[in-house]
Structure 1
Amino acid sequence: MFAGPNATVLNSAPLVTSNQARERHGLPPLTDRWGDRLRFDQLRPQRLAAPVTVYVEQFSAHPLEADAAHLYGPPDGYLDDAGRFGTERRAPSDRPVYRIELRPEDGLLPLPYMGVRADGSAWDGDATGPDAPPDATRQPFYPDAARVFEEIDRLGYGEHAESNLLGRHADFDFFRVLPSGGYTRGLAEGERTDVGTGGIAAERWGEDFFPYRPGHLRGEPPRAALAEVTNRLSGALATGTYQAALWLDASPAIEETLYWLTLVLDTEVPIVGCASTEWPHGCLGATGDRNLVHAVEYLRSGIWRDHQGRDRLGAVLVDAERVLLARDVQKADARPGGFGVTGGHGGIVATIGDPGPPVLTALPVWRHTYGSDVRLTAIPRRVRGVRRSGAGDGAEAIDVEVKDGAGGLLGSAVPHVSIFKHARYLTTGPDGIDDEVELLARIDHNLRHRGLAGFVVEANAPYGSSAPSADAVLRRTALCGMPVVRVGRGNGEGWVPHDRMRLAIAGANLTATKARMLLMACLLRFGAPPPAADPDSPTAAELAAVEAALQHYQAVFDTH
């Protein structure tokens, strides 16, 4: 179980000081809209520090339990009006009870939250005030998935009263890869965490961990972090210890990471992504917890296996009782079932949840994981890159190291691929090349600072055609060693045609964000196309060399 950045499943609601605590500290109570004290305290899962005995009133678990009293055995005893327990009823007013012994080792229990702030005031949100700095803000995201799994197993139950909804099916190891929450003070060696003992150095917001709440402290992982994701998951799965991988990420971004994983991980085990499209963990109606349970049910079902026991689907997302292919899934809305299918063809490969067991409904033709042409083990140690040549505006070829001595991906080598969006009424005229300042500036920056770079053009659907001024700049871009992929804008259902793609790659029916991930992987696999000495006047041989290089890219875009 890998806890990734902004992982919505690991996001919890603020810990709000209970009315019991407010009364104890002489603070104003939480009230309803009419100013009356709330009837109930919100209960949050917490651990007992010592054993305690509680007495629970018999027949209080359901309004109609007592209606079937003749089916029940006797209670453990009775409480009189003074609260004294006895095994025999001494008066008609004695209440039948069950005696329960609760111990710390029993695990989490829902209890009123008693914490207050250091100044004696109540907690009403994550921070001590609006726009509070990190040292005055509590973290709403869990540092890993272990606590979420424990809460689901301890407090959740299924439609048929099943408990331990995750632990009854599998054993889990928990990894923190660009996690959503961090230990800002660090943890000393031997100090306990949910996933083991400490030995963690102090971690920093937006550098070592990446939350999105509070909004002003949101952290977004850099491009180089994609190498860490690749290497950590690849290393864990290469041990042969694990039968599956679960990846948690932000609901708007998980589609990109999952597609990357299905492209680069050389593994035969299934990879499943989970997110919550709305509402933090533990809130009424939050879908993240159920998605986790369904993900494990999908893995246990084995419907993903081929006749050799290998995963035949590649990375998938489990959401709202559906299993969606990583290549085709896209977040569309922040509501239950808010993930949709792009490209107009397939995408939903299985159903899960009631009624009945998981059912496989389709098999994709796209290459993935162990069959991918751009998997990590197929990427060479070094590839051709480009940089600005000493004279003029042209480029020259250079060697770029993309893997370290252990075969891991180098963060510094992760390619820079920009997305350029075409729209009508942008240029001043047919030769308005000067209007393409964003493209020209990015090309110049890439040649100065990026050994591996490229562009995705999100243009007219489905043809991927853009304005003549942009076409002229992008043609020159390809001759400078930066490949260009063209896709239709929005959720295009048609395929970008090959015959319109001179010096460009047809992006099939991929969205721009998915085409970006695939182009990044292709740059690592094949390197940059050979640059022309003068991109404004290429020779016939240089044009042929660029087109031949782009055919390798095109073959991957046609099959992945």
Structure 2
Amino acid sequence: MTKPQIAVFSGPRSTIANSPTLVTSDKGRLETDSYLQRRFDHLVPQYLHEPVTVRIRKYSAHPLEQDAEEVYHDNGENFFEVLLTPEDGAYLLPYVARRDDGSGTGTPFEESDLRNPDINYGGRQTFFPDASKVFEDIDRGISGRDSKGTVGVLNSIADYKFIRALPPAGYTKNGEQAGVDFFPYSPRPIGKFLTSASLAKATNIVQSAINSGEFDGFIWLEGSPHLEETLYWFSLLIDTALPFVGVSSQRPHGELSNDGDRNIVDAARYIASQPLTGMGAVGIVDEQIFAARSFKKGDARPGGYRSTGGHGGVLGSANNEVKIWYKPVYKTLSTS
């Protein structure tokens, strides 16, 4: 069966497309540097420069593997030998890059760089210019495996095209400017808010993608405080009967217990399920499907979204299985 084609729009100030800042691991620090001194050195998804053969200690994936050693094939060694290549995708590795400070060796990147105006608040962006890296990490299993113990869940659902409508990060070397071409919220002193003109621009970009006839559904990524307004706006102006989903996150991609990755997967599953025509624009967070006009952030935590108005607003659930309980009768999207 042909997989659906989904357009993924990068929206502004989106935690779902943000990441923790890159801090130099202890393995990248010199004896004269301050060490983080954690139990383990932190790891960051990165790509190998060249193929490398590694030896993996047997029975090290789970504390009780060796308790069932009789079910394992014995290769006669205490290890498995595996060839890793750059084509495999990112691996979790120590982050050893250092910031140039004019010295001969540089200095470690630190989280405190984000609050230091003397070095332009670190001089780097933590947001992603589009969602392709987020989707790749999800499919690679960087944030965790699926319920079947494997990876590649997004790729198994659909194919995706990533569109930078109002992205939270930009290519400054190509002349893109914060507040004009992209809209981050951190570092806080240089965060940028959206203008009405920018929202009109995004509407035209979204409608143009719809008019192309290339897609079977659409995902819009945006910051959690503003997604409700944008989704309401789109529900009034966008002309399509196809599934249109807004998703957000309370925690950045790559942070402990990030909720955004799962919201993305659930949104893709919703679109692939070919929901009822006339559902209109919906928000999908925390496995709940909200009608766009009854969708509001109540608390800054996972599970913090509410349906407003006192007349429902939760239309169904999105998980491994998508279930629709109610269908809105008001005019929305192509009927608005």
**TM-score, length-scaled by structure 1:** 0.56
1:275 aligns with 2:248: yes
- Structure 2, unaligned runs of 5 or more: 1-7
CA distance in 1, matches of 2:32, 2:74: 43
Q: Is the 8 A contact 2:165 2:202 kept in 1?
A: yes
Matching of residues 79-158 of structure 1 within 5 Å: 96-119=78-101, 120-125=106-111, 127=113, 129-132=115-118, 134=120, 136-155=122-141, 156-158=144-146
Q: CA deviation at 1:38?
A: 1.6
Alignment-derived partner of residue 61 in structure 2: 61
Q: Describe the SS at the equivalent of 2:219.
A: strand
Matching of residues 214-253 of structure 1 within 5 Å: 214-253=187-226
Alignment-derived partner of residue 258 in structure 2: 286
CA distance in 1, matches of 2:118, 2:238: 40
CA distance in 1, matches of 2:332, 2:99: 51
Q: CA RMSD in A?
A: 1.5
Write the deviation string for residues 381-439 of structure 1: whole angstroms up to 9, x where unpaired.
Answer: xxxxxxxxxxxxxxxxxxxxxxxxxxxxxxxxxxxxxxxxxxxxxxxxxxxxxxxxxxx
Alignment-derived partner of residue 299 in structure 1: 271
Matching of residues 24-35 of structure 1 within 5 Å: 26-30=32-36
1:260 aligns with 2:233: yes
Alignment-derived partner of residue 288 in structure 2: 322
CA distance in 2, matches of 1:239, 1:129: 43
Q: Describe the SS at the equivalent of 1:226.
A: helix
Alignment-derived partner of residue 155 in structure 2: 167
CA distance in 2, matches of 1:133, 1:263: 44
Q: CA deviation at 1:43?
A: 0.6
Matching of residues 176-187 of structure 1 within 5 Å: 176-186=164-174
Q: CA deviation at 1:352?
A: 2.0
Q: Is the 8 A contact 1:126 1:139 kept in 2?
A: no
CA distance in 2, matches of 1:333, 1:53: 48
In structure 2, give the amino acid aligned to 1:161.
G
CA distance in 2, matches of 1:129, 1:371: 47
Q: Is the 8 A contact 2:12 2:194 kept in 1?
A: yes
Q: Describe the SS at the equivalent of 1:224.
A: helix
CA distance in 1, matches of 2:159, 2:198: 28
CA distance in 2, matches of 1:248, 1:169: 18
* Match for residue 10 of structure 2 among 3, 6, 15: 3
Q: Is the 8 A contact 2:113 2:121 kept in 1?
A: no
Q: Describe the SS at the equivalent of 1:185.
A: helix
Q: Which has the higher contact order (CA 8 A, sep 6+)?
A: 2
In structure 1, give the amino acid aligned to 2:33.
L
Q: CA deviation at 1:138?
A: 1.0
CA distance in 1, matches of 2:9, 2:266: 17
Matching of residues 39-50 of structure 1 within 5 Å: 39-50=39-50
Q: Is the 8 A contact 1:53 1:102 kept in 2?
A: yes
CA distance in 2, matches of 1:367, 1:162: 41
- Structure 1, unaligned runs of 5 or more: 31-36, 79-95, 187-201, 306-310, 373-560
Q: Is the 8 A contact 1:127 1:138 kept in 2?
A: no
Q: Describe the SS at the equivalent of 1:359.
A: strand
Alignment-derived partner of residue 394 in structure 1: none
The 1:321–1:136 alpha-carbon spacing in structure 2 relative to 1, beyond 3 Å, is closer
Q: Is the 8 A contact 1:15 1:126 kept in 2?
A: no
The 1:211–1:132 alpha-carbon spacing in structure 2 relative to 1, beyond 3 Å, is farther
CA distance in 1, matches of 2:118, 2:172: 16
CA distance in 1, matches of 2:220, 2:15: 12
Q: CA deviation at 1:133?
A: 6.8
* Match for residue 310 of structure 2 among 344, 362, 373: 344
Matching of residues 192-211 of structure 1 within 5 Å: 202-211=175-184
User: How many pairs were matched up?
Assistant: 323
Q: CA deviation at 1:126?
A: 6.9
Alignment-derived partner of residue 5 in structure 2: none
